[in-house]
Chains A and B, each alone.
Chain A
């Protein structure tokens, strides 16, 4: 099987986040400072390279983007000033947009519950996050066995939700979605139409064998 190298993904990332992925020259500082690189399938520098080559499987489809803690160490240390963590954000957003969020990544599921929760109440309802996560992934409950009662005993978890300005929250979420979804769809279409993007000239029309 062969994959065509394209600048489409890099162009989408640039349009969505303002970051030019082609600035990366693979020094790998992001990966050496990353607290979770050793637990993932690929490390941040590999994700950056995959983005440059238009390899969606190793970027949008990587396990790494659902392990990244958003600690910003990569963005802080990048000698090229690339907001690497911002690229990871954008890859998660693209995964949502393209309906490629993995069903089995616990962090993806928790982010989704979290997002729905604060949209619903105006504020994040922490107990709801915990309970819905437990219902979705019953095995997780094992991790709470000892902690749950101890936290309850110390009254650490508020039982009832705290309400924010729910009307304004709904309105803002709706407006933001309207603006962004259309724009991202346009960017996707535009990127697909004019490959390669940015400085990917050398990769124009090139093909390579994908790893077995």
Chain B
């Protein structure tokens, strides 16, 4: 696979800019061409499907139609887990005849499926492949123990994501292993971090974040690696508040999978956006 359509999504243009730059950096090193979908729109995110089921499916479908008909491509990279989930939902709903007719009316063009949607893990694990990835590593990690964190939307619900194992997926572990890290077995891998409540209920998410990071630490992880802008932002930023209330709190670096892979492939620290993290990440990266 040498060329992929690219759907960055809203977060990658703002709070998760480093996911965008690090992802693009790794694709250049891995000889994958990315073509951004022209004039892409918001996928509708969680607000979309809480207000209009139809619009929430029509928005990602509109992008899939552009990929298929205008760009003539068969696969799209969606590094944001929330966008990925909406795109996969669009593919799933396209199979329902009545729903597909409504969607076509809203979009203005019919979509008959046929565009593969790839999340960050899929891209390294399947589209690029572990052997190719390994061969391109120039700066391997020396066994750094990491907890690979999937959160919710990369694997759930499985009838939409078609995930290999929705409760205990392991492809991300295989990717970090390929770049020299040691993945740890842990319990909170697919637990929800509550990021959608980030503004609404900080009391709730502080507890969820605490439980996830504490479990990673107890299982020996030196860093948590994730593939979702909402997870990264939430796990990273809430530690500032948690630490403020609890002086004994020990910081846990939270990295994007693309930053880890990029570091191993020799992408510059600037392009990886390592200084964007609120909890310092430099300490766990090879010099």
> Which residue numbers of A lie inside 8 Å of B, CB to CB?
16-18, 35-36, 39, 67, 69-73, 75-76, 83, 85, 89-90, 92-93, 96, 105-107, 109-112, 114-115, 118, 122-127, 129-130, 133, 140, 143, 146-147, 150-151, 154-158, 162, 164-165, 168-169, 171-173, 175-177, 179-180
B243: nearest chain-A partner, CB-CB: A146
A88: nearest chain-B partner, CB-CB: B50
Tell me, yes or no, whether B39 is within 8 Å of chain A by CB.
yes
B41 near A122: Cβ-Cβ < 8 Å: yes
B240 near A162: Cβ-Cβ < 8 Å: no
| Residues of A with C-beta under 8 A to B15 | 126, 151, 156-158
Tell me, yes or no, whether B194 is within 8 Å of chain A by CB.
yes
A180: nearest chain-B partner, CB-CB: B54
Q: Which of B96, B153, B196, B199 contacts A129 (CB 8 A)?
A: B199
Q: Between A and B, how many residue pairs show CB distances below 8 Å?
A: 184
17 A-B pairs with CB atoms under 8 Å apart are A35-B194, A39-B201, A67-B197, A70-B46, A72-B153, A75-B157, A111-B46, A123-B42, A143-B241, A147-B278, A154-B278, A157-B14, A168-B41, A171-B108, A173-B55, A175-B105, A177-B55
A176 near B40: Cβ-Cβ < 8 Å: no
B48: nearest chain-A partner, CB-CB: A115
What's the minimum C-beta distance from B47 to chain A, rounded to whole angstroms?
A: 4
A150 near B240: Cβ-Cβ < 8 Å: yes
Bound-state CA distance A147–B50 (Å) is 28
What's the minimum C-beta distance from A101 to chain B, rounded to whole angstroms?
A: 10
Bound-state CA distance A143–B197 (Å) is 12
B14: nearest chain-A partner, CB-CB: A158
In which size bucket is the chain B interface? 35 or more
Bound-state CA distance A123–B80 (Å) is 14
B200 near A176: Cβ-Cβ < 8 Å: no
Residues 90-120 of B, flagged 1 when their CB comes within 8 A of A and 0 if not, give: 0000001000001001111000000000000
A175 near B106: Cβ-Cβ < 8 Å: yes
A164 near B11: Cβ-Cβ < 8 Å: no
B42 near A92: Cβ-Cβ < 8 Å: no
| Residues of B with C-beta under 8 A to A83 | 157
What's the minimum C-beta distance from A37 to chain B, rounded to whole angstroms?
A: 11
A126 near B14: Cβ-Cβ < 8 Å: yes
CB within 8 Å of A: which B247-287 residues: 275-278
| Residues of A with C-beta under 8 A to B54 | 176, 179-180
What's the minimum C-beta distance from B27 to chain A, rounded to whole angstroms?
A: 21
For the complex with contacts A73-B156, A105-B200, 14 further pairs of A-B residues with Cβ separation under 8 Å are: A17-B53, A93-B50, A110-B47, A112-B51, A118-B10, A127-B14, A143-B199, A146-B241, A147-B241, A150-B278, A172-B107, A175-B105, A175-B106, A179-B106
| Residues of B with C-beta under 8 A to A150 | 237, 240, 278
B52 near A93: Cβ-Cβ < 8 Å: yes
Bound-state CA distance A92–B46 (Å) is 12
What's the minimum C-beta distance from A178 to chain B, rounded to whole angstroms?
A: 9
| Residues of B with C-beta under 8 A to A155 | 17, 276
| Residues of B with C-beta under 8 A to A96 | 51
What's the minimum C-beta distance from B168 to chain A, rounded to whole angstroms?
A: 12
Tell me, yes or no, whether B174 is within 8 Å of chain A by CB.
no
B55 near A151: Cβ-Cβ < 8 Å: no
